[in-house]
Amino acid sequence: MARKKSEATEPHPLVAIDMGGHSVRAMAAERTEEGLFRILGVESSNRFPCVERGVVSNQSNAGYIIGEIMKLLANRIHHPLLTKAFVSLGGRSMKIASVMSKRDQVRQKEIPQHLLDEMEQECKQKIESRNPGVAVLDLLPSHYVLDGKEQDEEPRPEQRAALIEVHYIAFVGKKELEQKVLDSFIRTPKHIEHAYVRPDALLSALATAEDLRKGCAILDMGAQTTTLSIYKGNQFLYTKVISQGGYDISRDIEQLGISLAYAERLKCQFGCAMAEQVTVTHCYRVPEASAPEGYVAVRAVDLASIIEARLDQIVLPLMSDLNQFADRIGVLYITGGGSMINGMEAYLQHKTSIPVMYGSHAPWLTHDSPDEVCAPNYASLVGTLILGAGYRDEHPMEEPEDDLLKRLKKLKNKLEEDTVDIFGGLDNDNL
């Protein structure tokens, strides 16, 4: 999918990469003046498996696929400067921890940004030095305490304080998770502009300021992992990853004697999350895997029963944990490709007293965005774009200034000067 014409105002489009268990996907976008995202193109590849249960398992395959996707994406949108990408990380090994950094300036004075940066770095080093083999994947401030007064927002430039405390929520994982992802990019001519944890990306895409104030939860059901994250204000209260997802449901259906491809189609097109909601008596004839000319008859209610049984195994432990936070949460959002089974919303509502609805990232997209990118399985990509845009605001990319580019710029300027001289300053509209 791509727009016919790219009208990006920035020389470097924003690129997000999602390394999932089913496929690796990339999305390029430009940001409008209103802060929305115009999708320039999307590419995906599942040619080689490289992610297993949320962890990069094959560096060579990951590096090749990422390079391939970036090249295809650049060709699709006709843009040569797709040199960097933002990536979201997640997986079974990810956990959260609380950590605090404190600084005494002796007397009240302004709080410089470099001091906050130093405190953040100090916390990362503290966690990693005390836990060998662990890497801090992301570090998010939950609140600040200035001279004993707590506040949620980052200190303003004009604020003054002597004693500064910053409380963080740290997303940590096995060092191999971070290193393997980084290595996969290093093996290509592309580079990570910045990395984020997937729960943070989804929060940015789905939750409103009111959701954060009241508290909310996000259930992200992917192909091989399912993640529950709970938030209140600026704090991550809880995160848990189950090493099962939509792929496991398809594998269960495959046991009926059909191919995995047909099992996936049955699940997505005719499946239902609750057997009791199936009112039709349809029976689907599916080609038998072991006999090309044979067929397997699959009743709609039996298909739903298989799906519901696996969902119970995946979801019930998470719903038990979620219900412990019921008095602090206003809504449960569901998202991810594995959540697109018919009746999923009703199934989850049956398991919890918290209001359940599909999260939508569509408000972040321009009105001309294709319908396909509004689907739940694109939420993490859009969330990564949102975080990437914020990062780009704080760390503007520099234009590559190699000799060739310098010469092209000089030529462009000379041509513009010559054009004005020839046409006497007329603009194109008057020609």
pLDDT tens digit sequence for 231-258: 887 677 888 888 899 999 999 999 999 9
Contact call for residues 169 and 140 (beta carbons, < 8 A):
yes
Instruction: Report whether 36 contacts 382 (CB < 8 A).
Output: no
Residue with tokens 């990380």, as numbered in its chain: 89
* Max mean pLDDT range (125-129, 152-156, 176-180, 359-363): 359-363
For residue 298, is pLDDT > 60?
A: yes
| SS3 state of residue 105 | strand
265/250 Cα distance (integer angstroms) = 9
pTM, 2 dp: 0.75
Q: Are 62 and 99 in contact (CB under 8 A)?
A: no
Summarize the confidence of residues 48-71 as an average pLDDT: 59
Distance of alpha carbon 101 from alpha carbon 184, whole angstroms: 32
Segments of the chain assigned to CATH 3.30.420.40: 210-359
Q: Give residue 106's identity as a one-letter amino acid code.
A: V
Helix (H, G, I), strand (E, B) or coil at 51: strand
Considering the four listed CATH numbers 3.20.20.10, 1.20.1630.10, 3.30.420.40, 1.10.579.10, the one that applies to the domain covering 210-359 is 3.30.420.40
Compare 277 and 56 and report the one with higher pLDDT: 277
Torsion of CA 99, 100, 101, 102, to 10 degrees: -160
Residue 176 class from Cβ within 10 Å (0-12 exposed, 13-18 middle, 19+ buried)?
middle
Following DSSP, what letter does each residue of 275-306 receive, concatenated? GGG-----EEEEE-SS-TT-EEEEEHHHHHHH
Question: For residue range 253-296, what is the model confidence (pLDDT) as tens digits?
Answer: 999 999 999 999 999 999 999 999 998 888 999 999 888 789 99
Question: Which of 7-16, 157-166, 379-388 bottoms out in mean pLDDT, i.e. has the lowest?
Answer: 7-16
With contact defined as beta carbons under 8 Å apart, do 247 and 223 qualify? yes
- The share of the chain scoring above pLDDT 90, in percent, equals 42
Beta strands in 199-353 (DSSP E): 216-221, 226-232, 235-242, 283-287, 295-299, 331-335
In the chain, % helix, strand, coil (3-state, to 5) comes to: 40, 30, 30
Check: CB of residue 205 under 8 Å from CB of residue 198: no
Q: Where are the beta strands (DSSP E) in 111-178?
A: 134-146, 149-151, 160-174
Closest by CA position to 43, among listed 89, 1, 78 = 1
- Say how far apart CA 264 and CA 270 lie, in whole Å: 10
Kindly report which listed range (139-153, 293-307, 402-416) carries the lowest average pLDDT score: 402-416
Distance CA 336, CA 198 (A): 11
Residue with tokens 């430009």: 30
Running DSSP on this structure, what letter comes out for residue 372? G
Burial letters 233-271, b for 16+ CB under 10 A, else e: ebbbbbbbbbbbbbbbbbebbbebebeeebbbbbbeebb
The confidence score (pLDDT) of residue 145 equals 92
The span from the CA of 19 to the CA of 88, in Å, is 8
- Range list for CATH 3.30.1490.110 in the chain: 95-175
**What is the band of 424 on the pLDDT scale with cuts at 50, 70, 90?**
very low
DSSP bridge partners of 29? 14, 39
Q: Which residues contact 428 (CB under 8 A, 6 or more apart)?
A: none
Per-residue model confidence (pLDDT) at position 28: 93
User: Mutual orientation of helices 344-351 and 300-323 as an angle, nearest 10°?
Assistant: 40
> Is domain 95-175 annotated with CATH 3.40.630.10?
no
pLDDT confidence of 64, banded at 50, 70, 90? low
pLDDT at site 397: 67
